A and B are shown apart, each in its own frame.
Chain A
Amino acid sequence: MLESLLEFLIQGLVLGGLYALFAVGLSLIFGVLDVINVAHGEFFAIGGYLAFAAVVLLHLPGAVGVLGAAVGTFLLGLCVYPLLIAPLKRRLGGRPQGPLYLVLTLGLSTFLQSSLLAVAGGDYLRVPPQVSGILDLDVTAVSYQRLLVLGVAAVLLTALFAFLRFHPEGLAVRAVALNPDAAQAMGINLPRIFALTVALGVALAGVGGALMAPLFNVYPAVGFPLTIKAFAITILGGMGNPAGALVASFLVSIAESLSVMVIPSQWQNLIAFAVMVVMLLVRPRGLFGRAVSR
Chain B
Amino acid sequence: MMARAKLGVAGAAAAVLLPVLLPHPFVLTIATQAVIWALLAASWDLLSGYTGQISFGHAGFFALGAYAAAAATKHAGVSPWLGLLLGAAIAAGVGLLTGFPALRLRGHYLALVTLGLAEIIRLVATNWLDLTGGPFGIHDFRSFPGLPAGALAHRQAMYLLVVAIVVGSVAVMYQVCERTSAGKAFRAIREDEVLAETLGVDTTRYKLLAFALSSGFAGLAGGLYAYYVQLVSPVVASAATTSLVIGMAVFGGLGTLWGPVLGALLLYGLYEGLRFVGVVYNLIAVGFVIMVFVIFFPRGLAGFGRSA
Contact = CB atoms under 8 A, between A and B. Distances in A.
A287 B294 CA distance: 34
A231 B116 contact: yes
Interface stretch (A106-114, A124-132, A138-146): A106-114
A269 B123 contact: yes
Interface stretch (B27-35, B96-104, B160-168, B169-177): B96-104
Given A103-B54, A110-B287, A270 B112 contact: no
Nearest to B243: A110
A114 B284 CA distance: 5
A78 interface: no
Nearest to A39: B287
A262 interface: no
Interface string A187-200: 00000000000000
Contacts of A113: 283, 287
Interface residues of A, number: 47
B154 interface: no
Chain B interface residue number, banded? 35 or more
B99 to A, nearest CB: 11
A280 interface: yes
Nearest to B53: A99
Interface in B221-275: 239-240, 242-243, 246-247, 250
A276 B54 contact: no
B298 A104 contact: no
Interface in A251-294: 266-267, 269-270, 272-273, 276-277, 280-281, 284, 292-294
Interface string A226-261: 011001100100010000000000000000000000
Nearest to B284: A114
B162 to A, nearest CB: 27
Question: Would you call the interface of chain B mostly helix, strand, loop, or mixed?
Answer: helix
Contacts of A150: none
B106 interface: yes
B284 A280 contact: no
A93 interface: no
Given A235-B109, A269-B119, A106 B98 contact: no
Given A110-B243, A280-B105, A267 B287 contact: no
B80 interface: no
Given A100-B294, A110-B290, A118-B278, A36 B116 contact: no
B113 A277 contact: yes
Contact of B287 (A108, A232, A273, A276): A108
Nearest to A270: B120
A132 B250 CA distance: 48
B115 to A, nearest CB: 6
Given A102-B108, A118-B278, A281-B101, A111 B291 contact: yes
Nearest to B109: A280
A104 B298 CA distance: 11
Nearest to B123: A269
A36 B291 contact: no
Given A99-B108, A115-B284, A266-B127, A280 B247 contact: no
A272 B116 CA distance: 8
Contact of A277 (B98, B250, B294, B295): B98
Contact of B295 (A91, A115, A235, A272): A91
A99 B112 contact: no
Given A102-B108, A228-B115, A277-B113, A107 B123 contact: no
Nearest to A116: B280
Given A99-B108, A102-B54, A270-B120, A276 B113 contact: yes
B278 A280 contact: no
A294 B119 CA distance: 27
Given A114-B280, A292-B105, A99 B52 contact: yes
Given A228-B119, A270-B120, A276 B291 contact: no
5 contacts: A38-B115, A266-B127, A269-B119, A280-B109, A280-B113
Interface of A: 36, 38, 84, 87-88, 91, 98-100, 102-104, 106-115, 117-118, 221, 224-225, 227-228, 231-232, 235, 239, 266-267, 269-270, 272-273, 276-277, 280-281, 284, 292-294
Given A106-B56, A114-B287, 5 more contacts: A110-B247, A111-B291, A114-B284, A227-B115, A280-B101
